[in-house]
Amino acid sequence: MNILVCLSAVPDTTTKITFTDNDTKFNTDGVQFIINPYDELALTKALEITEAKGGEVTVISVGEASIDPVIRKALAIGAHKAIRIDTAAKDGMHVAQSIKQAIEGQSFDLILTGRESIDYNGGQVAGLLSELMDMSLVNVVTSIEVEGDSVTAIRDIDGGRETVSASLPCVLSAQKELCEPRIPNMRGIMQARTKPLEVIAPAGDYTKTDYVGYELPPAKEGVKLIDAANAEELIDLLRSEKKLI
């Protein structure tokens, strides 16, 4: 059972977001990058599966050398080897196409991704990749069971759960509750030093979109407390000042 896990490096959740280049570029100065939390779940699940059934976990990431520490962390957590495609991850199509080209000729039983990255929240890579690879896709799953050459996954749907089965190979994207992420230990960190991290050149530029501009959400206003006995005042404010009703 060989599994490919697509890994995105995203800014730490506590990062203060600023922009450069006339608000057309995210300012990465001083930003701490982490493994996208949904991708970390995908990685952990991949390790659980290969520990039970044998095989290897390869992580693949699209990005420049600055994301190497994030990839090393994935190796420290337990991934067997890593591939980095040496190009900035511009949009979902560029990432999915780059990954497809990079793994040409290799065979994976499963491709796992996170449901979305927590920076741009595109949520496109799993879908695009499954189409490009001609594999089936089960999106946003909270449980994965592999049996023989098929996989059974559970998805949250509105007001319930859906159980889906698909034949291997296929693409699955990880949702919260899929598993408990692992904390890398020192032995793992040391072993990660010598695990292979292959850096390959991008096969082309597949970008389909351009970022025209960014802006921050408006600053939060202070809280206005209204006495519980004064419901009318609240309704007045919502109507006249906020124009919500």
Partner 1 sequence: MELDFESLKAQNNQVDDFTHPDFYEIDNLLTEEHKLIRYSVRSWVKKEISPIIDACCQEATFPQHIVPQLGDIGCFGPQIPSEYGGGGLDYISYGLAMQELERGDSGIRSTASVQGSLVMYPIFKFGSEEQKQKYLPKLASGEFLGSFGLTEPNHGSDPGSMESNFKDDGDHVILNGAKMWISNSPFCDIAVVWAKNEAGIVHGLIVERGMEGFTTPTTHKKWSLRASATGELVFDNVRVPKENILPNVKGLKGPLTCLNSARYGICWGAIGAAMDCYHTAVKYAKERTQFGKPIGGFQLQQKKLSEMLTEITKAQLLAWRVGTLMNDGKATPAQISMAKRNNVEIALHVARESRQILGGMGISGDYPIMRHMANLESVITYEGTHDIHLLILGMEITGENAFV
Specify the DSSP class assigned to residue 240.
I
* Separation between Cα atoms, residue 111 and residue 37, nearest integer Å: 17
Q: With respect to partner 1, which residue has the nearer C-beta, 35 or 49?
A: 35
Strands 136-147 and 170-174: parallel
Residues 12-41, mask of contacts with partner 1 (x by CB under 8 A): --x---------------------------
**Shortest Å distance, C-beta 34 to partner 1:** 9
Determine if 65 is a binding residue for partner 1 (CB under 8 A): no
Q: What are phi and psi of 66, to 5 degrees?
A: -65, -15
Determine if 193 is a binding residue for partner 1 (CB under 8 A): yes
**What torsion do the CA atoms of 5, 8, 14, 16 make, to the nearest 10 degrees?**
180
Answer for the pair 135, 167: CB distance below 8 angstroms, yes or no.
Answer: no
- Which of 98, 76, 108, 94 minimizes the C-alpha distance to 182? 76
Determine if 4 is a binding residue for partner 1 (CB under 8 A): no
Determine if 204 is a binding residue for partner 1 (CB under 8 A): no
Site size for partner 1, by CB under 8 A?
A: 14
Determine if 76 is a binding residue for partner 1 (CB under 8 A): yes
Peptide bond into 169 cis (omega under 30): yes
The interface region with partner 1, picked from 48-56, 70-78, 150-158, 164-172 by CB under 8 A, is: 70-78
Determine if 186 is a binding residue for partner 1 (CB under 8 A): yes
Q: With respect to partner 1, which residue has the nearer C-beta, 90 or 195?
A: 195
Residues 45, 48, 50: CA angle, nearest 5 degrees: 110
- Contacting partner 1 (CB under 8 A), which of 16, 187, 220, 224? 187
Q: What are phi and psi of 44, to 5 degrees?
A: -60, -45
* Separation between Cα atoms, residue 169 and residue 165, nearest integer Å: 12
- Contacting partner 1 (CB under 8 A), which of 189, 197, 200, 237? 189
The interface region with partner 1, picked from 42-50, 118-126, 137-145, 180-188 by CB under 8 A, is: 180-188
* Separation between Cα atoms, residue 27 and residue 192, nearest integer Å: 29
**Shortest Å distance, C-beta 74 to partner 1:** 11
> Which stretches of the chain bind partner 1, using CB under 8 A?
14, 68-69, 72-73, 76, 183-187, 189-190, 193
